[in-house]
Amino acid sequence: MPYCPECSIAVPDDVVECPTCGASLESTPTTEPEGLARPRWDVEKLQAILSSSLAPNYEILRPLGQGGMGAIFLAREPALKRLVAIKVLAPSFAADNRARVRFEREARAAAAISHPNVVRVYAVGETKRSKLPYIIMQFVDGPNLEEWRLRRGKVGEREGRRVIGEIATALAAAHERDLVHRDVKPSNVLIEAETGRAFVADFGVSAALSTTQSDETKLTSTGAVVGTPTYMSPEQSTSDAVTPKSDVYSLGVLAYQLVTEELPFKAETAMGWAAAHLRDRPSATKERRPEISPVVGQMIDRCLAKSPDDRPDADEVARGMLPSLETEIEWPPPGLLWLRGRARGLNRTALAAVVGAVLATTALSFDPAEVAASQGWLARFEFAAGIAATAEWGREGGPVVLMYLWQTAVIVGLVTFGMAGITFLLSVARFIERAARQRVRGWQTNTLLDVAADHDGRSGMILTGSGDFAAFRDTTRRNALRARRGLSATLMAGTCWIIAAFGLRALLLALGMARAETTPTLLGPAAVVLILLPGGVCLVFALMFIIWERLLLGRQARPHSFEADPEDVARWYESHPQGDAEPAGVLKHKHERVAIWSSWTAVAATVLLGPIMLIGLILASLATFTATRFPEWHGAATSNLIANVDYVDRRDPIGAARAFWSPYLPERDSTPQEVATELLRVLNRDTEHPDALAGYSVDIAAFFQWDEIERRTITDRAFERALRRELPSDTLELLRQLANHPRTGLLRRLAATPHIDVLDALMPDDTSNGAPGRILVLSPVVIDAARANTLAAVLDAAQGNVAGAYERLGENASIGEHLLQEPLYWLDRQALDLLASHALRPLASLERARGEIDQAVRLARATEDLHLVRDLGSAAGLAVNPDNLAEFRRAVSDERIPAGYRLLWLRQGWAGTCAYPSEVLLGPSASRRAAMRSVAEAMDERAAASQVLESSEAAWRWPLASARASGSERPGAARLLDRLFVGSVLRVLSCGDPNAPI
């Protein structure tokens, strides 16, 4: 319908002159589709029309603005002495009767909204002559939201929540009266300059616009029709039914832009915006602004849901955003303030009692006799000479520290359990009594449980869906409350069970009414399981409830506090009771950088030093455990060693045995040492070596197998049969082959040599290119040669050549003597075994076969004594006390013990560090090193002892000392790492194996 360009009144299509003002009618120029030509407003004339129509009730002061919808003027109402805003609609809208009727109806509905955040509509009418509709509304002195945002810059979270919440409360008030705004956007939100309060405007205008525009117009004419494409909901874009949830979507777009300073979508045209609203998924608000609280981000994201059913109501948005509306109900309920969080306090007390119960239960499940330690166990190490070792030593002579630990665990556990348990029981009794009173007054059990389980003071917000939990659905919030109830209930059940079960068991034990007949411990395995298992199951369920709540609430499981901006700080001090209080000056950027660098330094230090501290604690625990268990592991062996050393010192087993084989030693020839060394090298070569002698064709070891029934070997019986001429011919032939074998002959030749460099002979043939040499141990083929020579003695006896048999056994003894001269433990051990098994024992068998029973018995006893020397144990426990190494010094200086054993003991003496946690962690102390050096200097083998001492000390102090051994010094940091960690771990492993020679 055309309109008059002068008075803007609608006129019929077929008239050529305005019936109102008489102006000539011309066709309206337009560049807009669907007849949306915008008139050229004559503001002064329109102001005159309003003045004549509204006088004397309103005085038009000045225009405030104009646009495609019309114009708005500032006016004064003399009667009430207030300023008002008068908005006049464009003639294109006023010319439609349907729009006029609906505009009046919706405007009156808007006028009925009485809300502090809605621009009040005072009156609706039309001008007298031109019949232009107008609205008289509240005047808000301030910018619109878009201007306010651009002028202010980045909006703080608290301020943003307040603005969004106030807009949401205004929309919620309108929605309660079935009034939908339809065009929520920043230009329709006014911010009062004086108070900062947000006002929503243009309810009636939106209603009028919704009846006049086509779908195409709605998508193309931004600002002139209802629903601005940038803020339009998906259903508005498709001309579907508009509901209050449409306003919520538009509010979500507005809030997203306010918080993140960006729109959720990007488009260039109205159709592009419509497609974006229908299709695109915006980035989460939290991603665009990470410091924002989760509730704000989640609420805005829910508002932008494509489906209206997935969006919250405006009232939900208001409850979630406005700090002043954290809850709509009183929380805790009246009279239940004492109950809030009470379950948490009870559970803490109960957990203290449970810790005491578990500690005491664990301690009481051990037999005190097993962890007991006799007083003065070091003194027992030092003065236990002559005391026979017993299997019970580790049980009776363990470290006294274990007993102290056991006693401490029992005492601390029982005291903690008693005090916390009594406090818990009294608190529970009081809790039940007061809760029962409240139940009688009408409070539901679930309400009492919710208040008691409210460990962070936010169960009220969960219940009402406000504050931090406004963005959550009802089912999620109900399940979160159930998780809190379940957590408190299961914790209470589990702790109550452990307290009750352990308390009852302790009571029965105290009264003598419970006895553990099947176990020496105070609490048997069944009792421990009965006490701890049900409680542990309840605690597992409690952990599941904690996880459930965390899964339900996500980041909101913990209270969130947003950062206040400077304006928040200033506003708080304005309300301070002391009028002269002012906020501190804002720190400059350089101070902020210092704070940031300090925090990052602390984080880096924690990341770097935290694992080191954790490893240190673990190593300290292991070192303490090792030190307390060391006497039990090595006590019996040490006591046995002391007794055996005394026995060796008195009897001199090697000297006594030498008296038996000395008469049969072969006469020494003049073979040079170099030749003898080469002969031993040839004999020691394994049969797989290309230059080795041929091996024996029979299993010689089978002749020396021990018969447990007869308590002797096949060779022992063979001497008897040989002297009685009872050996079969095939056996004699086999013995003859062994006697004539090249290896046997080479052994006999070696036995007559005066000097052999055994170490040089046993060195590997190829140690070039830095290849590590193998351990210096006699090859089994040499032992086989000695065995073959023993069997050859049986052949001589069978042939009547008893002197030859003695000679061959003397040759075996000569080989043992050669080996015994070298100060190496493994060679000395093999030498003693060779002397006992292939010299003394065959001599005893030969004497017994000849009827010399007394001599045979003496030889057998000498053999046992030689085996005793061979099996002398570890000296790890002899050097426990570095201030008193008398027993240790006596053992390593005893010349009646082979030098190889004594040098090994010198190395094992460093294992005394295992008895002290500090030395296990940090290596031998200075006093120990000085004491060990004094012991080494007192030994006859001073050069070898010094070499052993140096290498073993380096191994205990710096376990990774290969670089030092090769002539290069390890860096200081590497040595420190070795000492603190690698060395500690290796020392713990070395000390922790009670069977290792260390």
Q: Which residues are catalytic?
A: 183
What is the number of other CB atoms lying within 10 angstroms of the CB of residue 862? Answer: 26
Residue with tokens 């290969």: 962
State the DSSP string of 252-318. Answer: HHHHHHHHHSS-S---SSHHHHHHHHHH--PPPHHHHSTTS-HHHHHHHHHHT-SSGGGSPPHHHHH
- Please, are residues 393 and 636 in contact by the beta-carbon 8 Å criterion? yes
**Which of 846, 750, 850 lies closest to 795, judged by CA?**
846
- Residues 6 or more apart whose Cβ sits within 8 Å of residue 527: 505, 516
CA distances from 700 to 54, 109, 682 (A): 135, 118, 20
CA distances from 62 to 71, 143, 492, 800 (A): 11, 17, 73, 150
Q: Note if the bond before 294 is cis, omega within 30 degrees.
A: no
3-state secondary structure of 72: strand
- Please, are residues 412 and 355 in contact by the beta-carbon 8 Å criterion? no
In whole angstroms, give the CA distance from residue 549 to residue 543: 10
- Residues 6 or more apart whose Cβ sits within 8 Å of residue 633: 394, 994
227 conformational bin, left if phi > 0, alpha if psi -120 to 50, beta if neither: left
Q: Which amino acid is at 446?
A: N
Q: Note if the bond before 959 is cis, omega within 30 degrees.
A: no
In whole angstroms, give the CA distance from residue 988 to residue 920: 7
Tokens at residue 682, please?
């040839």
Per residue, what are the HEC states of 633-667?
Answer: HHHHHHHHHHHHHHHHHHHCHHHHHHHHHHHHCCC
Q: Which residues of 168-202 are buried (b: 16+ CB within 10 A; e: fewer)?
A: bbbbbbbbeeebbbbbbbbbbbbbeeeeebbbbbb
Residue with tokens 């924690």: 606
- Please, are residues 549 and 482 in contact by the beta-carbon 8 Å criterion? no
Tokens at residue 637, please?
């062996």
3-state secondary structure of 145: helix
State the DSSP string of 108-143. Answer: HHHHT---TTBPPEEEEEE-TTT--EEEEEE---S-
Tokens at residue 872, please?
């002398």
**Which of 645, 626, 625 lies closest to 637, judged by CA?**
645
CA distances from 170 to 139, 184, 210, 251, 559 (A): 17, 11, 20, 11, 28
Count Cα atoms within 13 angstroms, Cβ side, for 733.
3
3-state percent helix, strand, coil for the chain, nearest multiple of 5: 60, 5, 35
In whole angstroms, give the CA distance from residue 18 to residue 7: 9
Give the end-to-end CA distance of the chain in Å, rounded to a whole number.
110
Residue with tokens 């601005």: 228
CA distances from 91 to 460, 494, 930 (A): 53, 77, 111
Query: Strand pairing partners for 712?
Result: 707
